[in-house]
Structure 1
């Protein structure tokens, strides 16, 4: 990344929506996600000389964003959790993980029981509605890795919900 203002403006235009979605997957609040996204890019500008291109720019930006989320949680004495707010939110209809006869609480318990990075991939897909390509970029992996990780997690969640329901 060069030090020019034009370069950071281009990066902001290209990646701000993805960073916002990533933060929204944690916050489930538009204004907090927007505020943290702005702070993420402010911090990126401040420390752009430290970006050494050893990872994708999306990975770097999401690492900054996640740190901003952690700082926000500490400042507001919140627990840094993923997805617990989703219990009362509808899951996107594009995903068939939630069948009409399944209890949302059971699904969230099963999601919470997944290990990282599977849990984060599931939350990014379900709550932020990110594409597998975007998830792969955020996690520093391929689109195919994100897809496989998601579908394996989905299988585990469905199995867990079915086992608890019987």
Structure 2
């Protein structure tokens, strides 16, 4: 298991960081991922790569973390405890482009959406993306390129 940890810990960490955008949480979830992997190694049937199996465990742990976080988020007790909110106009101007892009990325079909998320938000290489998704580096490159072109064309596939 030590060898598996050394070979795959960075990939699992980057994957989790792409999901949660918090290094501390990604580190905690990476450790929990390998703990769960040790507990369930007997159920690993070898039908996929080890990195794919580990990232699936990590994804489930991340979703558990989100559910737990939603339940535990306290409500502010004092009105003064809330940070000042930007005006609606400022918020729209600041986030309209970013939100539009995220909506368009979210509208991509799987597995292209996940490839884009892993590449942009997780800063994973195409080789790492291929390993996480159980595909080749070339497949990850082509899928990313096609999704990028689709986003440029407003969501339509370019039929060249």
| TM-score, length-scaled by structure 1 | 0.74
Counterpart in the other structure of 2:153: 159
SS of 1:13's equivalent in the other structure is helix
| Equivalence map 1:125-140=2 (5 Å) | 125-140=119-134
Deviations 1:45-82 (A, max 9, x none): 1111111211111011111111111111111128xxxx
1:33 aligns with 2:29: no
How many Å apart are 1:28 and its aligned residue?
0.4
Aligned counterpart in structure 2 of residue 56 of structure 1, from 41, 49, 56: 49
Residue equivalent to 2:109 = 115
Aligned to 1:124: 118
Question: Following the alignment from structure 1 to structure 2, what is the Cα–Cα distance between the partners of residues 146 and 27?
Answer: 22
Task: Give, in whole Å, the separation in 2 of the partners of 1:51 and 1:111.
Answer: 32
Deviates more, 1:47-56 or 1:15-24: 47-56
State the structure with more CA Rg. Answer: 2
The separation in 2 between residues aligned to 1:105 and 1:49, in whole angstroms, is 42
Task: Tell me, yes or no, if structure 1 residue 74 matches structure 2 residue 67.
Answer: yes
SS in structure 1 at match of 2:3: helix
Paired residues in the alignment total 131
Q: CA deviation at 1:111?
A: 1.0
5+ residue gaps in structure 1? Answer: 1-7, 79-102, 162-166
CA RMSD of aligned residues (A): 1.7
1:147 matched to 2:141: yes
Shift >3 Å, 4+ stretches:
none
Stretches of structure 2 lacking an aligned partner (at least 5 in a row): 72-96, 156-160
